[in-house]
Structure 1
Amino acid sequence: MKTKFKKVLVSERLPEGGQNVIVISGDGKSGTCYFLRGLWHGQKNGEPKYWLEEVTDNEEEMSELIHHISETMPSGSSLQEKAQTLLTKLKTKES
């Protein structure tokens, strides 16, 4: 299973306690930090502004589903047009 990291603002949500996370400070410096009981331990670059959350990368499966919708919907239908638009965006992103 592929994963990717999502940048999360510390002010919006904190990681679950008892884990090491990658953090980014306000000046852009990164490092690892242990988060436990609402405190950051081992941070040497100032207070973290962001932390990176590892999430499942479903992009490939979603792309396949959109491609299937694009091929099976009647030509000119709004759903088929939206699927084509999303496929174009994905192809542009890959380039």
Structure 2
Amino acid sequence: MSTSTLTDPLSPELRTILRALKLGKMLDTLPERITLAKQQHLPHAEFLELVLADEVTRREHTSAALRARAAGLDPRMRLESWDTTATVRYDQQL
């Protein structure tokens, strides 16, 4: 283990590999997840599950945002802001 690995958990080789696998965005959260895994003594499989779940969540959010933008949806229209007391009318001809 080199000294750079001790100070920086993300070696240049790891960065290159993640980018080659199209996982470069994982670099944003990986140092934090490595620290968490060390503190909680996570088994390797749980750590891997955690970082891959982060990536799946990130990709789902990105994909949804891209689809919404492509569909021309108003970004302010979100389920969280839905007014359940609003009177909703449907166009019967559609």
TM-score by length of 1: 0.26
**Higher fraction of helix:** 2
**Higher fraction of strand:** 1
Structure with greater contact order relative to length (CA < 8 Å, sep ≥ 6): 1
Higher Cα Rg, which structure? 2
TM-score by length of 2: 0.26
